[in-house]
Amino acid sequence: MTKMGDTPEEHFPMHEPIQTVAATKGIVILFDPPSYHYHKNQFFNLDTALNRDNTLRPNNELKRRLENCGYPVFTADMLDEIRPFYEGCRFHYWGFGVPVSRALAFASDNLDKIGAALFEPPLVKPADYRDIKSLTKIFSIVFLHNSVGDGYELSDDVDTSKIEKLIWTNRNYTNADASSAPAKRLKKFAMIAGAHFKKARPENGYGKRLEAIACLAPKSALDLYGFGWQRVQIRAPFASLFWCFKLWRYGLDVCSPTSKNDVYRHYDFALCFENMLMTGYITEKLFDALFAGCIPVYWGASDIAHYVPQDCYINLDDFSDMQACFDHCLGLSTAEKNAYRTAISRFLVSSEFSIFHNGFHGQIATFYDAD
Q: Which amino acid is at 36?
A: Y
Ramachandran sector of residue 177 (left: φ over 0; alpha: ψ -120 to 50; beta: rest) = beta
C-alpha 361/C-alpha 26 separation (Å) is 21
Kind plus residue range of the DSSP H or E element containing 94: strand 90-96
Output the pTM of the full model.
0.92
| CB-based contacts of 107, cutoff 8 Å, min separation 6 | none
Question: If you compute the radius of gyration of the chain from its CA atoms, what whole number of angstroms results?
Answer: 22
Using alpha carbons, select from 20, 231, 49, 206 the residue that is nearest to residue 124: 206
CA distance linking residue 261 with residue 177, whole number of Å = 9
Closest CA to 86 of 128, 28, 143, 34: 28
pLDDT at 17: 73
For residue 15, pLDDT beyond 70: no
pLDDT at position 90 over 50: yes
Res 12: pLDDT: 52
Q: Which of 159-163, 256-260, 304-308 shows the lowest mean pLDDT across its residues?
A: 256-260
> What is the per-residue pLDDT for 258?
85
Q: Which residues, in sequence order, are CB contacts of 123 under 8 Å at separation 6+?
A: 151, 199, 204, 275, 276
Q: What pLDDT, in 10s, does the model give residues 170-212?
A: 998 765 454 566 779 999 999 999 999 999 999 999 999 999 9
What single-letter DSSP state applies at residue 255?
B
- Looking at per-residue confidence, does 17 or 96 come out higher? 96
Span 124-138, pLDDT tens digits: 999 999 999 999 999
Per-chain mean pLDDT for the chain: 93
* Contact by Cβ (8 Å): 193, 209: yes
**Which CATH code for domain 178-352?**
3.40.50.11660
The ranges assigned to domains in the chain are: 9-166, 178-352
Supply the pLDDT for residue 13.
Answer: 53
365 CB-near residues (< 8 Å, 6+ apart): 62, 65, 66, 358, 371
Q: Residue 6 — very low, low, confident or very high, per pLDDT cuts 50/70/90?
A: very low
* Residue 183 confidence (pLDDT): 73
Compute φ and ψ for 95, nearest 5 degrees.
-80, 105
Q: How confident is the model at residue 16 (pLDDT cuts 50, 70, 90)?
A: low
**In this model, does residue 297 exceed pLDDT 60?**
yes
% of the chain residues with pLDDT over 90: 89
